[in-house]
């Protein structure tokens, strides 16, 4: 809890009810500001939300969202709004080959980081001896720091470092590229190295995976309650169309479809394209053109999810990574969310970096998914598909090609008393809920600083464990050295 409390009566408007906006709004409310969170839609969550799908008459997530132990700001935000216990954690990731052979990747309880994943890597049936050797070499090399401005792509690095076709297809493409939602040739090496270190090297705790036991919007309803309890409110169905800064009163006036809103501070917690749409309707200021130029360098990556309800049990697994096919991830929602009391099984299949899949029609996408699923789970062949839904998110994430960091602005905006948030701003993280939560905490710190207060909302990273404790990055020249402590 921070000591700093805003002077009574100070107000802030946060535009955008995604994870970035919610985390900024809750931190500012805790700092004593009267906060209004203004959201265009009728519910919270943004790109991480759920709704009742009319075609299947069920509440579904727009897509399964997973988090990891290293997501310290997202977890901190969940703790603040009292929903952290609604996440179910696991340290096992099961790979399945067509035909059904399983390879569980899990952490050893006995070996120190970064060796904790080694026994299951060595035992992996889905990888050849050469694949395993190549992966072990790659992991060792990626313990070395990669300069953040490296112009190399992951694809070029994999070629240069002797990665086998099996290691590329079954690990790099499926696990790492799909986490970053792009092909290996479109990913800046430092981002891939970060994912490897956080999920596989730093500690078993950092790499453990979390999945919600409730739909996303139900999880985020905790933010609305938190704001109300702290004197704030959420204004739904209010698209912000422009803002005016009054120098004399030092106040912002926002134009929304449902009327004007006034505040001392403004947080724009929008995706990059939403920020671009607002720019022409903001006051002229130095730095606006530069910001527009940065936004222009961003691109989207699509993610698709197929939701299937079968009349019987299909698998005893909660989730799995599916190898060598179009569908990548399976989540067994009947097991993850038992309160649904589904007769039979509700499965969600996720396809990342899915340009090709996103071009399919609904029928084609569902047929392909069921056909492929039957190759992993024989029960599918005899089961009846009761109902199905396809969700295509063409603007799911921003991509992280080399050079993207120069196009990610800080929280400081061109305007007075206005700060930026959103997963795409400078957080060091790829397009994730953690990046969004970090950006929200950074925005809250920037607002407190503008009031002359020092507060810290950014949760620190988890400390590396085991042998990884002794590997430190030397800030100046990016060399590794053995720590003296
Ligand atoms: C299909 C899919 C799968 C994903 N999987 C994962 C995953 O497994 N793990 C993970 O960590 N991340 C995942 N992500 C990424 C994650 O969802 C995003 O990085 C994160 O939610 C972004 O949050 P944000 O607040 O920055 O932006 P957004 O969620 O886009 O929030 C912006 C909000 O602003 C609102 N808005 C826009 N314009 C206006 C306006 N003019 N006035 C008022 N409101 C406005 C929008 O309605 C929205 O609610 C996934 C994303 C998608 C789409």
Residue 91 is assigned to a structural domain of this protein: no
- Residue 219 Cα, ligand 1 centroid: separation in angstroms? 14
Q: Which atom of ligand 1 is nearest to the CA of 241?
A: 41
- Quickly state the pLDDT bin for 473 (edges 50, 70, 90): low
Asked whether residue 116 falls in the same domain as residue 141, the answer is yes
Q: Which atom of ligand 1 is nearest to the CA of 431?
A: 19
Residue 74 is assigned to a structural domain of this protein: no
Q: Is 454 exposed, middle or buried (0-12, 13-18, 19+ CB in 10 A)?
A: exposed
For ligand 1, atom 12, the nearest C-alpha belongs to 432
Asked whether residue 274 falls in the same domain as residue 407, the answer is yes
Residue 465 is assigned to a structural domain of this protein: no
Asked whether residue 152 falls in the same domain as residue 229, the answer is no
For ligand 1, atom 3, the nearest C-alpha belongs to 63
Helix (H), strand (E) at residue 480: strand 480-482
- Quickly state the pLDDT bin for 482 (edges 50, 70, 90): very low
Could you tell me the pTM of the whole model? 0.96
Asked whether residue 120 falls in the same domain as residue 170, the answer is yes
- pLDDT higher than 90, residue 472: no
- Residue 307 Cα, ligand 1 centroid: separation in angstroms? 20
Q: Which atom of ligand 1 is nearest to the CA of 16?
A: 34
For ligand 1, atom 8, the nearest C-alpha belongs to 65
Distances (CA, A) of 478 to 65, 149, 430, 471, 481: 33, 11, 21, 12, 10
| pLDDT computed for residue 353 by the predictor | 87
92-96/102-106 β-pairing: antiparallel
- Residue 86 Cα, ligand 1 centroid: separation in angstroms? 20
- Residue 181 Cα, ligand 1 centroid: separation in angstroms? 14
CA separation for the pair 47, 398 (Å, rounded): 12
- Residue 304 Cα, ligand 1 centroid: separation in angstroms? 15
Indicate the residue among 178, 207, 236 that finishes a domain.
207
**pLDDT tens-digit map of 312-365:** 999 999 999 999 999 999 999 999 999 998 899 999 999 998 889 999 999 999
Say if CB 44 and CB 217 are below 8 A apart: yes
Asked whether residue 177 falls in the same domain as residue 310, the answer is no
Domain range spanning residue 157?
A: 108-207
Say if CB 24 and CB 441 are below 8 A apart: yes
- Residue 425 Cα, ligand 1 centroid: separation in angstroms? 13
Tokens of 157: 């690095």
- Residue 229 Cα, ligand 1 centroid: separation in angstroms? 25
Asked whether residue 284 falls in the same domain as residue 406, the answer is yes
| pLDDT computed for residue 172 by the predictor | 96
Residue 1 is assigned to a structural domain of this protein: no
Q: Which atom of ligand 1 is nearest to the CA of 240?
A: 42
**DSSP class per residue in 325-368:** SS--EEEEHHHH-GGG--SSEEEEEEESS-HHHHTS-HHHHHHH
Residue 411: which CATH number? 3.50.50.60
Asked whether residue 352 falls in the same domain as residue 372, the answer is yes
Residue 406 is assigned to a structural domain of this protein: yes
CA separation for the pair 182, 184 (Å, rounded): 6
- Quickly state the pLDDT bin for 483 (edges 50, 70, 90): very low
Residue 331 is assigned to a structural domain of this protein: yes
- Residue 47 Cα, ligand 1 centroid: separation in angstroms? 3
Residue 117 is assigned to a structural domain of this protein: yes
Asked whether residue 394 falls in the same domain as residue 440, the answer is no
Asked whether residue 412 falls in the same domain as residue 356, the answer is no
**pLDDT tens-digit map of 392-430:** 999 999 999 999 999 999 999 999 999 999 999 999 999
Indicate the residue among 207, 238, 269 that finishes a domain.
207
| pLDDT computed for residue 478 by the predictor | 32
Residue 199 is assigned to a structural domain of this protein: yes
| pLDDT computed for residue 415 by the predictor | 98
- Quickly state the pLDDT bin for 4 (edges 50, 70, 90): confident
- Residue 43 Cα, ligand 1 centroid: separation in angstroms? 12
**pLDDT tens-digit map of 7-45:** 889 999 999 999 999 999 999 999 999 999 999 999 999
Asked whether residue 175 falls in the same domain as residue 126, the answer is yes
- pLDDT higher than 70, residue 480: no
By most ligand atoms within 8 Å of CB, the mutation choice from 14, 17, 65, 443 for ligand 1 is 65
Q: Which atom of ligand 1 is nearest to the CA of 47?
A: 29
CA separation for the pair 175, 173 (Å, rounded): 6
Domain count, the chain: 3
114 upstream amide cis, omega within 30 of 0: yes
For ligand 1, atom 31, the nearest C-alpha belongs to 18
Q: Which atom of ligand 1 is nearest to the CA of 304?
A: 1
CA separation for the pair 301, 285 (Å, rounded): 31
**DSSP class per residue in 170-231:** IIIIIIIIHHTTS-GGGSBHHHHHHHHIIIIIS-HHHH-EEEESS-HHHHHHHHHHHHHHTT
- Quickly state the pLDDT bin for 470 (edges 50, 70, 90): confident
Distances (CA, A) of 157 to 148, 165, 168, 190: 15, 14, 11, 11
Q: To the nearest whole number, what is the mean pLDDT of the chain?
A: 94
- pLDDT higher than 80, residue 46: yes
- Residue 457 Cα, ligand 1 centroid: separation in angstroms? 21
Q: What residues does ligand 1 touch, defined as CB less than 6 Å away? A: 15-21, 38-41, 46-48, 62-63, 65-67, 239-240, 269-271, 274, 303, 393, 396-397, 422-423, 431-434, 436
| pLDDT computed for residue 481 by the predictor | 28
- Residue 18 Cα, ligand 1 centroid: separation in angstroms? 5
Indicate the residue among 207, 230, 264 that finishes a domain.
207
Residue 318: which CATH number? 3.90.660.10
Asked whether residue 305 falls in the same domain as residue 394, the answer is yes
Q: Which atom of ligand 1 is nearest to the CA of 439?
A: 26
Asked whether residue 220 falls in the same domain as residue 352, the answer is no
């Amino acid at each position: 809890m921070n000591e700093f409390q805003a002077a009574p009566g100070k107000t802030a408007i946060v535009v955008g009810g995604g994870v970035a906006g919610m985390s900024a709004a809750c931190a500012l409310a805790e700092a004593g500001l009267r906060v209004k969170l203004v959201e265009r839609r009728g519910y919270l969550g943004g790109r991480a939300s759920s709704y009742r799908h009319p075609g299947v008459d069920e509440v579904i997530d727009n897509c399964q969202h997973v988090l990891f132990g290293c997501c310290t700001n997202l977890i901190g935000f969940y703790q603040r709004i009292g929903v952290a216990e609604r996440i179910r954690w696991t340290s096992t990731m099961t790979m399945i080959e067509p035909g059904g052979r399983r390879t569980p990747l899990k952490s050893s309880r006995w070996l120190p980081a970064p060796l904790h994943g080694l026994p299951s890597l060595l035992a992996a049936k889905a990888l050849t001896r050469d694949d395993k050797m190549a992966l072990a070499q790659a992991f060792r090399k990626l313990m070395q720091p990669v300069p953040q401005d490296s112009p190399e792509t992951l694809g070029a690095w994999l070629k240069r470092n002797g990665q086998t076709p099996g290691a590329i297809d079954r690990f790099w493409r499926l696990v790492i590229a799909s986490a970053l939602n792009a092909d290996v040739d479109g990913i800046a090496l430092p981002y891939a190295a970060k994912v490897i270190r956080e999920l596989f090297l730093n500690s078993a705790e950092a790499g453990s995976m979390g999945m919600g036991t409730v739909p996303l919007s139900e999880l985020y309803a905790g933010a609305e309650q938190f704001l109300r309890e702290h004197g704030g409110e959420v204004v739904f169905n209010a698209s912000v169309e422009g803002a005016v800064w009054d120098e004399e009163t030092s106040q912002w006036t926002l134009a929304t479809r449902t009327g004007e809103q006034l505040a001392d501070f403004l947080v724009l917690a929008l995706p990059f394209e939403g920020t671009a749409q607002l720019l022409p309707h903001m006051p002229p200021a130095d730095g606006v053109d530069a910001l527009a130029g940065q936004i222009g360098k961003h691109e989207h990556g699509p993610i698709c999810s197929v939701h299937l309800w079968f009349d019987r049990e299909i698998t005893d697994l909660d989730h799995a990574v599916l190898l060598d096919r179009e569908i990548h991830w399976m989540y067994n929602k009947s097991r993850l969310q038992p309160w649904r009391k589904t007769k039979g099984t509700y499965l969600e299949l996720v396809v990342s970096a899915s340009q090709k899949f996103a071009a399919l029609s609904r029928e084609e996408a569902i047929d392909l998914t069921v056909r492929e699923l039957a190759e992993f789970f024989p029960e599918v062949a005899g089961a009846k598909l009761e109902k199905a839904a396809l969700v295509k998110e063409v603007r799911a994430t921003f991509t992280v090609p080399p050079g993207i960091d120069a196009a990610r602005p800080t929280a400081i905006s061109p305007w007075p008393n206005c700060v930026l948030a959103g997963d795409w701003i400078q957080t060091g993280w790829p397009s994730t809920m953690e990046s969004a939560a970090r950006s929200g905490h950074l925005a809250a710190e920037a607002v407190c600083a503008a009031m002359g207060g020092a507060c810290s909302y950014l949760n620190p990273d988890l400390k590396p464990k085991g042998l990884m404790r002794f590997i430190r990055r030397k800030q100046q020249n990016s060399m590794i050295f053995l720590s003296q402590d």
